[in-house]
Structure 1
């Protein structure tokens, strides 16, 4: 089995999975889902609505009566990938409906692909449904076309993404996502918790909480209170996470800005019998104060090291993952070296990076002193060398320990699992080569860690959870 590559792009969701078989005569809709986990949830919502109307869903162009392409607009390279995917769908199928972040730029899309049937922006579900209805009328059979209570999921059955809000109030100069998705709009906490409860009831064993800014959850609602079962719960990140951690599944939080109130969240991770994993995905992006200022980031690096130390004091086994931009406009060698020194002190567990790219409409494009491509590449390689060494040292320290893991896949060679420190497809894996007989995806077992590499572990089962 291959080990985890060190430079996975941070903006990509796991590969969408399609497992249904269409009944005879059932209208079929193809789906291509690009971009981040938030976009994957949008795809799931669209397909759940379509499935409830009697459409079959397929990941293939062949036999589909129309294809939806859910696009990404995170980087110019991601936009190019989206245009390529639209072109491939047009070539292979001919009837294409475009949605997602890049859909906010209809003229840009139609300039390359004028024959698409419709273009809609992100989370414009009704418009997507209208376009599908116009291209392929529904033909439901209520006795056959049954929907699972938790809706249609494009991830394996044992884990699921749960989006708690849309939009973002930050104005980072390198990002146009708030322009595409709007300002923060939090879902009421009782709706989030009901969805989480349904997921667990349907067999989901790990919930991955996502948003553009999870730390800001509920700010737009002034942290209003709602009933969940017999309890009053605030629409607040800490309250939501505590309640979700009581449902009996692993709960993993992504995109948590390092605000002071995150200390309270880490305290919840230290409570007994909680399913809230000691894992935080914190988008630091850089460390040098001048670079952060040019980015218009809402955090100061001078305080993040103190905050990291406080989190580790509360929960010593906490896993910290982050993503960094290398070669941001104006980044000097001194600023980059400051980032490397900060990394040596912070010793984050899981780290991804990408080289800065201009994005049409982003304010960072107009900044002076853009870094040459060869310098960006050289700095990226140096950064990943440091991150890889730290990762290897941290994983080596786990050899001989006993850890709970969740099983993702099993084949004749062994089982691919993840520890509580690993999110699907963006972090590492734990491989079981011996004693995996009888394991199934979704099982939670304890293992003794036998071996470590730069990003992955190998272990032997000790008991089934």
Structure 2
């Protein structure tokens, strides 16, 4: 009999939210969620299949967790997430320990799937509505909130829309209700995620409605930080910019994935923005939003990327001087248009370009962080390293992808609390400070 369930979640924050939704559904159906795999009757691996390295990590974890069938109480091993959606037949053929596959479009059926001992692979791309009021609320200081599922873009390198379906936005009142429940449970930082947050509402309200959503969320005063991720430049409205410039709990931090700066490469990627438009938007954002921290991600080695295109990207990075930046080497993904494009770039050249771009950004980051010395910032303490030394984040840093603040204090600090601190030193990516 299946009673105790363990989840192992890989990939992006959107997967974390999906896991919490599944946990909530199972708890409502009297299942117990356990924190260790050796305690579980059934394990769900929420996989990632976005790029090659993510696929390899998912497969490694599936194989590792399958060992609990031999050495523990484990009866069933299930998969969900993007890798499971993408390769259900191949995974089951190669890993016979897998007992079932539940695609992202079927997570609302997780309880009945377990109860019926269903061994099928349910992986059709189903444009399901978000399951409201089902999320497991854990009371963590930081929580991700998914405002929509799926994506309307068809970037030539990306498989996600074919796995997750078109954009489906949640109702404003449902998102507000979830954030209120998180706030009551003790959450103080809410991070809004979607495949494209600036596309929010176009399907539901027939207009881009991220600003309308945020106007309601900033009223929830128990939330200290509202952070915006995956905000693509295409639909960044003036109303949204004005709201971010206001005196509220919407922090001046924007994660804006741009992918490239060469118009020729952007066109091959099937991106709709072009460099001139992007520069105009960034100029407007920095002019209007005080103390703005701007993060972006880029892909190097995309098919057809010539040296001229790469140099244009380097010049763009030097000109804009992003506060935070991530770089990926292009990963050739089956069933995408880019997979069969001409001009495939060698792996060695991809790595060379990656290193050059990161070296440039390292210098930019070092210069920008040096400017923060002597400034005073609220720091969210997240861990204790040793007596008198703690790890935390300022508003400038999203979890897992940005830098950290190494915080000294003569008095013990409470994990999960904010402390006003003075920045005393900096490195390439991190800050050091003392509690005031």
Alignment of 1:21-60 (within 5 A): 27-60=3-36
Q: TM-score, normalised by structure 2?
A: 0.90
Residue 42 of structure 1, CA deviation = 0.3
Aligned twin of 2:129: none
Following the alignment from structure 1 to structure 2, what is the Cα–Cα distance between the partners of residues 330 and 397?
Answer: 38
Cα deviation code 1:419-452 (max 9, x no counterpart): 11100111011111233x3422221221111001
Task: Give distance in 2, aligned partners of 1:337 and 1:442.
Answer: 43
Other-structure match for 1:84? 60
Is 1:176 the counterpart of 2:159 in the alignment?
A: yes
Structure 2 distance, partners of 1:198, 1:205, is 11
| 1:34-433 paired onto structure 2 within 5 Å | 34-93=10-69, 95-104=76-85, 105-135=87-117, 151-153=135-137, 157-223=140-206, 236-248=209-221, 249=223, 250-259=225-234, 261-272=236-247, 274-413=248-387, 414-433=389-408
What CA distance in whole angstroms lies between the structure 1 residues aligned with 2:43 and 2:111? 12
SS in 2 for 1:240: helix
* TM-fit CA distance, 1:125: 1.4
For structure 2, the residue ranges without an aligned partner over 5 or more in a row are 119-132
Residue 147 of structure 2 contacts residue 193 of structure 2 at CA under 8 Å; is this kept in 1? yes
Structure 1 residue 26: Cα displacement: 9.3
Provide, for residues 249-280 of structure 1, a one-character-per-residue CA deviation record: whole Å limited to 9, x for no partner: 110000001135344322112212x1001011
Structure with greater contact order relative to length (CA < 8 Å, sep ≥ 6) = 1
2:376–2:421 contact (8 Å) kept in structure 1: yes
TM-score (norm 1): 0.85
Deviation at 1:73, TM superposition (A): 1.3
The answer to whether the 8 A contact 1:431-1:458 is kept is yes
Shift of residue 122 of structure 1? 1.2
CA distance in 2, matches of 1:81, 1:265: 37
Q: CA RMSD in A?
A: 2.0
Which is further off, 393-402 or 47-56?
47-56
Query: After the TM superposition, which segments of 4 or more aligned residues of structure 1 sit over 6 Å from their partners?
Result: none
Taking a change above 3 Å as real, the CA distance of residues 331 and 194 of structure 1, as seen in their structure-2 partners, is same
* Structure 1 unaligned residues grouped into runs of 5+: 1-24, 137-148, 225-234
